[in-house]
Amino acid sequence: MENEKQILTVSELTKEIRKTLEETFEQVSVIGEISNFKSHISGHWYLSLKDADAVINCTMWKGFNQYVFFTPQDGMKIIVNGKLTVYPPRGSYQLDIRSMKPAGLGELQEAFEKLKQKLEAEGLFDEKFKKPIPVFPGKIGIVTAIDGAAFKDLISVAKRRFPLVEIIIAPARVQGSGAAESIVNSIRILNEYPGINVIIVARGGGSIEDLWAFNEEIVARAVFKSKVPIISGVGHEVDFTIADYVADLRAPTPSVAMEIAIPDINEIENFINEFLLKSTTNIETLLEERKEDVASFHKSYGFRLPMEKLNRNSQQVDSSIGRILQSIEKYSMIYDNKISLLSKSLESYDIQRVLKRGFVLVEQNSKFVTRASNFNKEKKAQLKFYDGEITTQ
Amino acid sequence: MSKKKTKSNFEQDLSRLEEISRILEEDSVELEEAISLFEEGVKLSKSCLKTLKEAELKITELKSELGKITQVDEE
């Protein structure tokens, strides 16, 4: 009977083992190196932790792994906290991980270097892929936390420097679990939004863990894939992230990223005012020069020549006219004389003919007396005959 | 919509102004051309300065996955 009591079904034994293990190792911390890491489509993580001599299978359910700020990579040394459990269908035990962190900062640094080398080898940092940043962006897309300090900085720089721009913010988680996915999503959304000329991916300063999302491979690939040029402005000047290397332009801080993205309104105003001043002077100089040109033309011999010619010609005309007038005068005098001579002889010729016929002309006081009533008996009279004149007593 | 147009016009106006500025500095430019360019430049300058003076930052917030767009007034 006692022996029979000892006989357990597989399930019963497994149940006992499970109970023992779970009770004994309800809360354990383990250090080990990741191998065979797999993020299942369901969101659960499957991995093994190993050291030189042993391996233990691990799971990390979605509900827990969403709080992990980094994506585990094979070879990374981590410290996990969890409980041991049994998977009855396979008769295996495994560690249910509840939290996970890198064994040291060196682990993150190493992960960073590994990813950097990998992406660099793929050409993701190549200058030839860097898109030019437009000088006058109409719309700027921003990927950052909407309640973060970086966003405030970005807005205040835009307001001060170039308020003509339009800001399109696609809010993203920039820290902790899910941050990488959120950043990737925001970059995608901004690429779909019409008319965005440049995207700023930004986050204020923080620890390497805080900035870790920008060192994730999916973020690097999303930045590389973006059709819209991307300026990164993550952390402080000393912080370099993988996203910085892939970005079309790396700015040391969020504020500088905005300064690079937009022109300065003051510079534009200065340019315009300078234009007004300079071109006014230019025009005035040009006018002055032309005036001088005209004046010197005016004084030039060539310009005076036609005037002189005109003067000379009019002098010629004048003297010709003078000569013409003179000769006209001369001729008219000659003709006048001739005419008067002729008319005199004509006149006398007429009188002679009358006198020849026996008529007499009576003259008193140098006037012809043509009527008897006009004759003065008291005075002398000249009697003009054909053949001579007689003066009466 | 009209605001968007103003912006692209601003950029066009400014680059035209730069062009005019360049031409006016050349010696070869004819007086009549220079004067008409100058008039054009003054007009552009005034409209650009006016646009800058009246500019106000516009912020639009995109609510993630759904692509729903929400306007957010600046503070």
What local confidence, expressed as pLDDT, does residue A141 receive? 97
A137 three-class SS: coil
| Helix locations, A193-264, DSSP H | 217-225, 242-246, 254-261
Instruction: Quick: pLDDT tens for A18-73.
Output: 999 999 999 999 999 999 999 999 989 999 999 999 999 999 999 898 888 888 98
Q: What is the pLDDT of residue A365?
A: 84
pLDDT for position A2: 53
Residue B48 contacts A, CB cutoff 8 Å:
yes
Using an 8 Å CB-CB cutoff, list chain B residues near A183: none
When the pLDDT of each residue in chain A is averaged and rounded to a whole number, the result is 89
Contacts of A268 in chain B (CB under 8 A): 14, 48, 52
Tell me which CATH homologous superfamily contains domain A112-128+137-263: Hypothetical protein af1403; domain 2 (3.40.50.10550)
Whole-number Å distance between alpha carbons of A202 and A167: 14
For the entire predicted model, the pTM comes to: 0.66
Work out the burial of residue A301: count CB atoms within 10 Å of its CB; fewer than 13 is exposed, 13-18 middle, 19 or more buried.
exposed
Q: Is B7 on the interface with A (CB under 8 A)?
A: yes
**Residue A195: how many CB atoms within 10 A of its CB?**
14
Tell me: the pLDDT tens digits for A232-245?
Answer: 999 998 889 999 99
Total structural domains within chain B: 1
Residue positions counted in chain A: 393
Tokens of A131: 């898109």
| Distances in whole angstroms, Cα of residue A49 to Cα of each of A61, A209, A392 | 16, 22, 185
- At A87-138, the pLDDT tens digits run 999 899 999 999 999 998 888 888 899 899 999 999 999 999 999 999 889 8
Residue of B nearest to A187 (CA): B64
Q: How far apart are CA A201 and CA A285, in angstroms?
A: 50
Mean pLDDT of A61-86: 91
Q: Tell whether B42 is within 8 A of chain A (Cβ).
A: yes
Q: Which is more confidently placed, A258 or A347?
A: A258
Put simply, whether B12 touches A (Cβ < 8 Å) is: no
- Inter-residue contact A219 to A180 (CB < 8 Å): yes
* Closest C-alpha among A208, A202, A204, A197 to residue A183: A202
Domain locations in chain A as residue ranges? 8-103, 112-128+137-263, 360-391
Nearest Cα neighbor of A163 from B14, B15, B7, B9 is: B7
CA distances from B57 to A196, A284, A391, B11 (A): 15, 39, 135, 16
Across the range A261-268, mean pLDDT stands at 90
- At residue A379 the predicted structure's pLDDT band, cuts being 50, 70 and 90, is confident
Predicted confidence at residue B32, as pLDDT, reads 83
CA A54, chain centre distance (Å): 64
pLDDT at residue B33 in the model = 85
Give whole-number Cα distances, B66 to A200, A279, A382, A390, A393, in Å: 21, 52, 150, 154, 158
| Side-chain half-sphere CA neighbours of A16 within 13 A | 8
Question: Distance from CA of residue A151 to its chain's centroid?
Answer: 26
ipTM of the prediction: 0.73
Option in A163, A171, A275 nearest B57 (CB): A163
Flag if A170 and B57 touch (Cβ within 8 Å). Answer: no
* Count of CA atoms in the C-beta half-sphere (13 A) of A373: 0
Q: What is the CB neighbour count within 10 angstroms for residue A169?
A: 23
Interface test mutation site (partner B, options A151, A275, A280, A291, max chain B beta carbons within 10 A)? A275
Residue A186: list chain B partners with CB under 8 A. Answer: 62, 64
Q: Are B17 and A278 an interchain contact pair (Cβ–Cβ within 8 Å)?
A: no
Nearest CA distance, A77 vs chain B (angstrom): 35
CATH architecture type of domain A8-103: Beta Barrel (2.40)
Segments forming the whole domain that contains residue B43: 2-71
Interchain CB contact of A85 with B (< 8 Å): no
pLDDT > 90 in chain A, percent: 54
| Residue contact B45–A276, C-beta within 8 A | yes
Interstrand relation of A249-251 and A230-234 (parallel, antiparallel or unpaired): parallel
- Which residue bears the tokens 């009209």? B2
Q: Angle of helix A105-122 relative to helix A217-225, nearest 10 degrees?
A: 30
Which of A182-186, A217-221, A321-325, B42-46 has the lowest average pLDDT? A321-325
State the pLDDT at residue A120: 95
Question: Is the CB of B45 inside 8 Å of chain A's CB atoms?
Answer: yes
| Per-residue pLDDT at B64 | 60
First to last CA, chain A: 225
Cross-chain residue pair B57–A169, CB shorter than 8 Å: no
Task: Give the mean pLDDT of B22-34.
Answer: 80
Residue of A nearest to B34 (CA): A283
- Kindly report the number of other CB atoms within 10 A of residue A119's CB atom: 18
Residues 125-154 of A with CB under 8 A from B: 136, 138, 146
- Closest-CA distance of chain A to residue B15, Å: 10
Q: How confident is the model at residue A332 (pLDDT cuts 50, 70, 90)?
A: confident
Mean pLDDT check: name the lowest of A50-54, A262-266, A334-338, B47-51.
A334-338
Is the pLDDT score of B6 beyond 60?
no
Residue A350 CB neighbour total at 10 angstroms = 10
**Sheet containing strand A249-251, strands side by side:** A249-251, A230-234, A198-203, A139-143, A166-169, B58-63, B68-71
